[in-house]
Amino acid sequence: MSELHSMLRTMKTAHIDAGPADISTRKQRLKKSIALLKDNYTALCGAMSDDFGHRSHYQSVLADIMSAIGALKHSHDHLDEWIKPEHVDDIDGGIQAWIQQQPVGVVGVISPWNFPLNLAFGPLASIFAAGNRAMLKPSELTPRTSALLKELVAQYFDPQELTVVTGGADVGKAFSALPFDHLVFTGSGAVGKHIMRAAAENLVPVTLELGGKSPVVVDSDYDITIAAARTLTVKTFNTGQICMSPDYIMIPEGSESAFQAASAEFIEQSFPSMIDNEDYTTIITDRHFARLVAMLDDARDKGANVVSLAPQGEPDYDTKTRKMAIHLIFGVTEEMDVMQEEIFGPLFPVKTYTQLDDTIEYINAHDRPLAAYLFSDNSANQDKFAQHTTSGALVINDVMTHASLNDLPFGGVGGSGIGAYHGLHGFREFTHAKPVVVQTPQGESGLRLRAPYSQETLEAMTSFLDA
Ligand code: NAD
């Protein structure tokens, strides 16, 4: 038996032997996670920055540390209410019934590099609240962060509660083949398919948090300057390396120059410099950087009009520092790589439309996105867009706001994922809702099933059917 198998077996045995984790154990695990992040956030942010090349400290504190602590604290503060058994009233014949919230057991978590702590502790906030133990496999693309996380988890947790396994795709492959009680994967759709196949061998339930091309649509009534500023606020965050980052934008025909001017003004104000700007994050690896440069070249070669928003006097991109400016790409066609793949970087295709219906049709002709963003003050258009497009989430007049509201389910649909977590929805995702029924001493409902079957009951049933 492999080392991973025996680790999992030990944790499963500990889970069964200890019985379901009570509220205080669950809260302790949540508190230990919070303490780990609070006590070590400087070192963790340093490790993330070293892994990226340069990672904005502000972004790391906000999106990896604070948001993870927020999710853990939310679970801690709501657990008493979530954990209560749900009683079912008014059942005929005096039967009592309730739904018991039972931990599933040991959950596997595979996380990506783009928010290495948020996407490890975010799922753990739900997994621990639900009374489970976990094995975590962070990304090999953030090696320093993953190594530090492994070391810290060993300091703060009993290895039977939470264990970190480091390694690349090979380890990921072996990890996803383990007979967990549930497996959560956050990453690309391509790897997501391998995960689901591997999990199917053991019939392990999966939560797949994937990515995709999240569209932004600006209605003709909406102020394009506000739409550009709100959209680029998120597109520049982590330099577009976010699963629900705006992937492309659709604006009314004729508003291209207004959008370009508003975008340029936003960049000038937010990022007057790029290469030496501490707020501007690098592209994670040379391979990811080269891919983005190739996408730009491909768009240019196929006839797009590429507009770089690099600050004056600075290059469009710099191979040495792996910093890359926002590029608006006008005149895109479906053949271009930027319209074929999730971009995951600072390239921003701009499409135009004449009727809002065209945008709905376009979105529906593609994979269901993780998020859709509509800028519109027209309530009929808001409603139509909400009803006729399907995405993991819809945000109106802003971008990505949904991810920080702990009471909303977070997840994709179709190509962007399966299942959802955050808050109560996460608690339920990793909890088995077990119906428990207590029969009355007379046990009358069971008697209907017992032979010899009575002609009288049969007639009562058939007269109901024939009525
Ligand atoms: P990835 O799919 O390349 O890797 C994710 C994880 O899977 C890593 O830990 C990796 O080691 C592991 N892995 C790789 N090959 C594997 C295999 N064959 N079997 C098992 N595990 C394997 O993703 P990434 O590049 O780290 O992250 C970027 C992608 O993640 C983007 O598509 C993005 O949209 C998506 N994402 C989604 C969310 C979300 O919450 N929905 C959040 C962040 C990122």
**Which residue ranges form the domains of the chain, and what is each CATH number?**
2-210+417-433 (3.40.605.10), 214-411 (3.40.309.10)
> 254: left (phi > 0), else alpha (psi -120 to 50), else beta?
left
In this predicted structure, what is the pLDDT of residue 90? 76
Q: What is the pLDDT of residues 325-354, one digit of tens each?
A: 999 999 999 999 999 999 999 999 999 999
Of 164, 188, 291, 410, which is best to mutate to test ligand 1, by the most ligand atoms within 8 angstroms of its C-beta? Answer: 188
pLDDT band at residue 1 under the 50/70/90 scheme: low
Say how far apart CA 122 and CA 65 lie, in whole Å.
10
Pocket of ligand 1 (CB under 6 A): 110-114, 119, 137, 139-140, 168-169, 172-173, 176, 186-188, 191, 194-195, 209-211, 243, 342, 344, 370, 412, 417
Strands (E), 93-225: 96-103, 106-110, 133-137, 162-164, 182-186, 206-209, 214-218
Mean pLDDT over 214-223 rounds to 98
Say how far apart CA 125 and CA 113 lie, in whole Å.
19
Residue 380 reports pLDDT greater than 70: yes
Mean pLDDT over 446-464 rounds to 87
Straight-line distance from the first to the last Cα atom of the chain, in angstroms, rounded to the nearest whole number: 62
208 beta partners: 185, 418
- With a pLDDT cut of 90, the percent of the chain lying above it is 93
pLDDT band at residue 59 under the 50/70/90 scheme: very high
Say how far apart CA 132 and CA 248 lie, in whole Å.
39
Of 185, 191, 238, 418, which is best to mutate to test ligand 1, by the most ligand atoms within 8 angstroms of its C-beta? Answer: 191
Residue 2 CA to ligand 1 centre (angstroms): 24
CA-wise closest residue to 187 among 175, 200, 178, 203:
175
pLDDT band at residue 393 under the 50/70/90 scheme: very high
CA-wise closest residue to 283 among 294, 267, 299, 298:
294
Query: CA-based angle 189:175:44, to the nearest 5?
Result: 80
Residue with CA at minimum distance from ligand 1 atom 19: 173
Question: How many residues are there in the chain?
Answer: 467
- Give the number of other CB atoms < 10 A from CB of residue 62: 14
Residue 265 reports pLDDT greater than 70: yes
**What b-and-e string marks burial along 306-339, b requiring 16 or more CB atoms within 10 Å of the CB?**
bbbbbbeebeebbeebbbbbbbbbbbbeeebbbb
Say how far apart CA 368 and CA 292 lie, in whole Å.
23
Residue with CA at minimum distance from ligand 1 atom 31: 188
Give the pTM. 0.95
Ligand 1 atom with least separation from CA of 168: 11
Mean pLDDT score of the chain, rounded to an integer? Answer: 96
In this predicted structure, what is the pLDDT of residue 445? 62
Say how far apart CA 100 and CA 130 lie, in whole Å.
12
Both tokens assigned to 132: 């489970």
Say how far apart CA 301 and CA 305 lie, in whole Å.
10
Residue 280 reports pLDDT greater than 70: yes
Q: Which amino acid is at 97?
A: A
Residue 427 CA to ligand 1 centre (angstroms): 23
Q: The sheet that has 246-252: what strands, in order across it?
A: 305-308, 327-330, 347-353, 246-252, 214-218, 371-375, 393-396
Residues identified as active-site: 209, 243
